[in-house]
Chains A and B, each alone.
Chain A
Amino acid sequence: MNLQEIVNRLSLDVKTPGLDLNREVTGGYVSDLLSDVMGNSSGGNIWITLQIHLNIVAVASLKGLAGIILVNNRRPDEDTLKRAVAENIPVMTSALPTFELVGRLYALGLRCR
């Protein structure tokens, strides 16, 4: 599935201007523990988390993730967004709590893989 399509279908708010959202999303991973994401997510996954600090960008970039969705309308730090743009990692926010958001991603056909 395409990231742009996910953004449209779930009305996500894109916080990183200028990044190309035409990229393949291979699956999803949910965690607020960075080493868990490092060890257990797969390249091309979309990552759902409530962590908003700078280091999430390093994790996403090193793992080759497709992007990060912040739940519950969490506002990312300004530094996080700057770094995300520099590293080509799209960051999106949603007003939905994690359970609801992930349910919708699953309904769109996304799996953990």
Chain B
Amino acid sequence: MINAEEGVFFLTGKDFTNAGAASSSLKGVLEKRGVPQDIIRRTAIAAFEAEMNVIIYAVAGMMKYRISNTEISVTIQDMGQGIPNIDLAMTEGYSTAPDYIREMGFGSGMGLPNIKKSTDHFVINSMVGEGTTLEFTIRLANGDKERA
């Protein structure tokens, strides 16, 4: 039985230079653990989209992860403007990204839908003027077999 493993990465709003670093680190942790490629890819997609949203829309935040034998769970919490209408934010194509963000290729309104599609469980909560918290889980099909 392999031990559960957890950790945290800190995220800074508007820090485009390090954008994706937390997701890359999480991917590295999963690779080391021998998690199957397709599960790593799905986790990487969801983590990256959540990380970018913190960088684009929030002041600061953190990404916490916990990997057990049966699942990977990730919580991304930020301090920021929050989301007034979650249903609208979840709609594919909806984005409030400003022009300079769109020029970089963000702001297609596909980030949150991508998270939903690539995870087994996804909840998002937000308070306008305070921040947003997102939690997602990806099941490890047969547990973490490699080292079990």
Hey, which bits of chain A sit against chain B, CB under 8 A?
32-36, 38-39, 43, 49, 51, 53-59, 61-64, 79, 87
Q: Which bucket holds chain B's interface residue count?
A: 20 to 34
Beyond A58-B19, A62-B24, 8 additional contacts (C-beta under 8 Å) are A33-B105, A33-B108, A35-B49, A39-B110, A55-B20, A56-B105, A62-B48, A64-B37
Query: Given A62-B45, A79-B17, do A34 and B37 touch, yes or no (CB 8 Å)?
Result: no
Q: How many A-B residue pairs have CB under 8 A?
A: 73
Q: Which residues of B contact A38 (CB under 8 A)?
A: 45, 48-49, 110, 114
Asked if B16 lies at the interface with its beta carbon under 8 angstroms from chain A, I say: yes
What separation, in Å, do the CA atoms of A34 and B106 have in the docked complex? 6
* B→A interface (CB under 8 Å): 16-17, 19-21, 23-24, 27, 37, 41, 44-45, 48-49, 52, 104-106, 108-111, 113-114, 117-118
Chain B residues closer than 8 Å to A58, beta-carbon distance: 19-21, 23-24, 48
Q: List, in ascending order, chain A residues with CB within 8 A of B41's CB.
A: 43, 62-64
- Collect the chain B residues with CB atoms within 8 Å of residue A43's CB: 37, 41
Task: Determine whether the beta carbon of B110 is less than 8 Å from that of A55.
Answer: no
B105 contacts across to A, CB distance below 8 A: 32-34, 49, 51, 55-56
Between A and B, 26 residue pairs with Cβ closer than 8 Å are: A33-B105, A33-B108, A34-B104, A34-B105, A34-B108, A35-B108, A35-B111, A35-B114, A38-B45, A38-B49, A38-B110, A38-B114, A39-B113, A39-B117, A39-B118, A43-B41, A54-B19, A55-B19, A55-B52, A55-B104, A58-B20, A59-B20, A59-B48, A61-B24, A62-B44, A63-B44
